[in-house]
């Protein structure tokens, strides 16, 4: 059974943002985000070097949606619909009602509460509409902004996993976070 039915992801709106289905016309905006060394510093794969990576992402969002395994929304500014980030439910496990959250934001938009706003919207949708029971996050322990963001949203630190990711010439640890449906204030 698919967790989200239909042809595309539903659009989710907040005060300043819209979480929406990614289109091929968003490829340039996506490239700007994922080719930035700072944005990709603690990512689990190397930064994009080629514009074709952006086109491939839009294609893979469609493939994964069709499989029901990963749902990736574009985060657009409500005022002009320009994509400034993405947020994702990955490792979607229907049987156990859990998924792993992921997020990235264009660097010139950091520190203005945008990802807090986007994740609040996505988490509310995940618990209330998708009826997920648990959301997980796998973060590099040095990624202070992401850790702060998750802890502010109520995620609890559940474990430390050593040398979990080979990225370029590094082997990186993981700090693992979890948020239960019963932890989420609107439920
Ligand atoms: C993580 C990220 C999405 C945060 O987006 P953002 O919109 O700037 O976050 P917000 O403004 O909503 O707030 C994040 C919190 O982290 C804090 N923060 C931001 N940068 C920080 C830093 N370098 N060190 C410590 N805390 C930091 C903010 O002050 C805020 O906490 P506060 O409200 O208690 O002050 C953004 O930094 C990013 O895209 N990083 C690169 C991608 C990434 O690492 N993704 C996660 C992979 S698991």
In this predicted structure, the answer to whether residue 106 has a pLDDT above a threshold of 60 is yes
* pLDDT more than 90, % of the chain: 89
Q: Please, are residues 102 and 88 in contact by the beta-carbon 8 Å criterion?
A: yes
Q: Give residues (CB < 6 A) around ligand 1.
A: 39, 42, 102-105, 110-116, 139, 143-146, 148-149, 152
Question: Under CATH, which number does the domain 12-183 receive?
Answer: 3.40.630.30
pTM score = 0.96
Atom 36 of ligand 1: nearest residue by CA position: 105
When comparing pLDDT for 47 and 9, which is higher? 9
pLDDT, position 3: 87
Domain boundaries, the chain: 12-183
pLDDT, position 175: 98
Q: Which of 148, 150, 151 to mutate to test the pocket of ligand 1 (most atoms within 8 A of CB)?
A: 148
Rounded distance, CA 60 to CA 54, Å?
A: 10
Average pLDDT over the chain reads 95
């Amino acid at each position: 059974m698919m967790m989200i039915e239909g042809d595309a992801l539903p659009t989710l709106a907040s005060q300043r943002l819209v979480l929406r289905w990614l289109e091929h016309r968003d490829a340039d905006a996506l490239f700007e985000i994922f080719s930035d060394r700072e944005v990709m510093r603690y990512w689990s794969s190397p930064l994009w070097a080629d514009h074709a990576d952006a086109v491939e992402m839009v294609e893979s969002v469609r493939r994964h949606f069709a499989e029901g395994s990963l749902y990736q929304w574009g985060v657009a500014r409500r005022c002009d619909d320009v994509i400034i980030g993405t947020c994702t439910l990955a490792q979607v496990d229907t049987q156990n009602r859990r998924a792993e959250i992921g997020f990235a934001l264009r660097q010139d938009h950091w520190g203005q509460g945008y990802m807090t706003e986007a994740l609040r919207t996505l988490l509310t949708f995940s618990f209330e509409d998708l009826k997920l029971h648990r959301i997980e996050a796998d973060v590099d322990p040095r990624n202070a902004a992401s850790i702060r963001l998750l802890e502010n949203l109520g995620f609890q630190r559940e474990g430390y996993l050593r040398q979990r990711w080979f990225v370029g010439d590094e082997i990186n640890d993981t700090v693992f976070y979890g948020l239960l449906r019963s932890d989420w204030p609107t439920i």
